[in-house]
Chain A
Amino acid sequence: MIGAELADQMARALADASDVTTLRLLEAGAFPQAAWDALDALGLGAALVPEARGGAGLGFADVMQLLEALGRAGAPVPLAEGIGAAALLAAAGIEPPPGVLTFAAAGATIPWGRHAAHVVLVDGVRVTLHAAGSLRWAHGSNIAREARDTPTVTGVPLAEGMLPNAWGSDAARALTAMLRSAQIAGALQAALALAVDHANTRKQFGRPIGRFQAVQQQLAVFAAEASAASVAASAAARAADARGLADATFEIGCAKVTAGEAAAKGAAIAHQVLAAMGITEEHALHHLTRRLWSWREEGGSERFWSARIGALVQSAPGPLWTFLTSRDQEPSA
């Protein structure tokens, strides 16, 4: 229930930000300061930080609905990044600083880098905190025109620490994969809603196109994929809560593969149903579909995770089924 309440709170705070105008400004390089301030005031950034460190002490599964809500809005603010970065810092024993915070694996591009006050870099198990102004930046973007910037580290970090074993040596990627899987699930829900609405209002041959069975059947496939992405993201988050991120990369990978495939199918169907209108700059759809196409690459593509999962099951002794079921979370008492 915590998850639902948080998501509600955020949905209200996001309501102002989640219009096309915000996303347009964002993609033109502006930072939605008002929306950020409203959300920042809710303190959601510290969701995964343990209570002992001043956070909300929530688990990954608790924030999935919130991340989906963020995805539905097209992620107009770097909240997913902030939640992830604060969690990494807290795990490494570093106090998360206030303001816009983001993270990435060392060597990867940094989401929202140019807009951040602080940046968390994760190199294996080593976590460093940097003032964004102390880094030299090369600006870049994904095809959603979201800032994906490359830093050059100069000088010493503000703080550094080590991740505990439960986080593993590939934590930034795994965390990104989990965040993006949930955001993809959310963006799929929003794109599906646009497509369904269009199908019910756009008329051709004297009736709403949604009355045509060919259109209905495609949207049903879309809905199924969107559900799959959402269930997968949540199931992965539960595994990470139960066993720690490091020992949940199998589940996180499975979720990312599912989300990535769903992103491709959903985006294709949404565009087919919205037809020419849907590919105009004016229409809201592309803000979602370009994010779907982008997010599936971040934190590991379907190809990346499939290869890992495949290698893992190839090397696990005994039947695949034994391996799969050995990972079930049985309550300990």
Chain B
Amino acid sequence: MTGLRFDLRDPPPGAAALRAEVRAFLAEHERAWTPEVRARSWMGFDRTFTRAVGARGWIGMCWPREYGGAERSFLERNIVLEEMLAAGAPVGAHWIGDRQSGPLILRLGTEAQREKFLPGIARGELAFCIGLSEPDSGSDLASLRTRADRVGGGWLLNGRKIWTTFGHLCDWMIALVRTSPAPEGGSRHQGLSQVLVDLRAPGVSIRPIRDLVGEEGFNEITFDDVRLPEDALVGQEGAGWAQATSELAFERSGPDRYMSSHPLLEAGLDALRADAAAAPALGREVARLWTLRAMSTAIAGMLQDGADPVRQAALVKDLGNDFEQALPGAMRALRDVEAMPEPMRRMHDYLTQITPTFSLRGGTREIMRGIIARELGLR
């Protein structure tokens, strides 16, 4: 069960000063945010805000300076993420690039790819999306069918991705696709590769999908003979599965896996400050939040050390999703919705509709628990 070990860590030197800087920055922007914007949190897409974050050096902040980074630590980055989420900042336009596409390109990309993409992501100008899921391949991702076939000097991309968050607003996708058939009787994990797709290339059609709130967050993206250049390949041909799964420690470990409802907890505390009867229930949520924060921060420290805490990330995602998902219910148990102050009620109403997604996006609850069960030696 070594995959379930956590090493705790003190905050990095200068943590309080960095927090104060981010807070001062957020104070300039947050007056414009409606309760819905705050409740949307990292599912809010705002390029103007993202460029402002980039100008402060808070996107790609762990990357080398030559690629637009600030060479700061994972623990410092974690502080910026926490502050953004605590405020409910609309960070969606850079979240994916900062969290996983950029780090992937930095780790496995060619020099030319790094120069082409990383500075733009860090400035908040290039937005990335994740092309994993397909209509017939959700949890069973390795069954995916989108293909990139070699053609003279490049690739020809055909197939379909779905549920692509902000695909219609982004510039680039990193897609996991099949570049050679799975070997007869061999593992389906072979023959997959990651490719960079310019979402404005001919043959790419993007159809936004309206969600239950009535918003267009995710998309269906169809590739119809899309020509990709030779250097669209990220990392090694055929190693896409291993690459994509190692990305998951980054994708699943952050504070975005337990803080998605945080602005509602703040609003709830404000509304219930004088309500002595609410203290135990509020205290319970705070205790849980405190614990999740310790776990999540431990993972940031382990990533800083170059460890691959992919199982710990699955575990914290599962616990964190339970917490952020249950928050609207916990608040509702303390105050009738119609008696909530207006901003709190609006956050509550928005989150009530959207919290089911928390244990779906980034891998479902059942898949997270399956990963833990494997670590326990049950599978």
Contact = CB atoms under 8 A, between A and B. Distances in A.
Interface residues of A, number: 55
B291 A216 contact: no
Given A216-B378, A234-B8, A330-B16, A311 B291 contact: no
A171 B324 CA distance: 33
Contact of B290 (A192, A254, A307, A319): A254
B286 interface: yes
Interface in B288-345: 288-295, 298, 312, 315, 318-319
Contacts of A61: 8
B11 A330 contact: yes
A268 to B, nearest CB: 16
A217 B373 contact: yes
A329 interface: yes
Contact of A306 (B4, B15, B284, B369): B284
A251 B290 contact: yes
B269 A314 contact: yes
Contact of A254 (B269, B286, B295, B378): B286
A17 B378 CA distance: 29
A329 B293 CA distance: 14
Contact of A313 (B1, B274, B282, B370): B282
B284 A257 contact: yes
A223 B312 CA distance: 11
A194 interface: no
B140 interface: no
Nearest to A197: B377
Contacts of A213: 366, 370
Given A254-B287, A328-B16, A330-B11, A196 B86 contact: no
Contacts of B298: 231
Interface string A222-250: 01110110111011001000000000000
Contact of A227 (B4, B273, B290): B4
Interface string B257-295: 000001001100100111110111111101111111111
Nearest to B376: A196
Contacts of B372: 220, 223-224
A45 interface: no
A329 B13 CA distance: 10
B280 to A, nearest CB: 4
Contacts of A219: 373, 376, 378
B287 A309 contact: yes
A320 B266 contact: yes
A234 B262 CA distance: 24
Contact of B286 (A199, A200, A231, A313): A313
B350 interface: no
B276 A311 contact: yes
Given A220-B376, A234-B8, A311-B276, A227 B295 contact: yes
A314 B272 contact: yes
Nearest to B19: A325
Contacts of B377: 196, 200
Q: In terms of DSSP, what is the predominant structure of the interface of chain A?
A: helix
B379 interface: yes
B295 A228 contact: yes
Contacts of B10: 238, 329-331
A166 interface: no
A69 interface: no
A230 B15 contact: no
A176 interface: no
A220 B369 contact: yes
Contacts of B318: 220-221, 224
B8 A238 contact: yes
Given A210-B378, A221-B369, A314 B262 contact: no
A331 B8 contact: no
B316 to A, nearest CB: 8
A320 B272 CA distance: 12
A61 B365 CA distance: 32
B378 A196 contact: yes
B319 A305 contact: no
B6 interface: yes
| CB-based closest 8 A-B pairs | A310-B283, A310-B279, A309-B283, A220-B369, A306-B283, A257-B287, A216-B373, A220-B372
8 contacts: A192-B376, A216-B378, A219-B373, A309-B282, A309-B284, A309-B286, A320-B269, A329-B10
Given A309-B284, A314-B279, 6 more contacts: A210-B378, A306-B281, A314-B269, A314-B278, A314-B282, A330-B11
Interface of B: 1, 4, 6, 8, 10-11, 13, 15-16, 19, 82, 86, 262, 265-266, 269, 272-276, 278-284, 286-295, 298, 312, 315, 318-319, 366, 368-373, 375-379
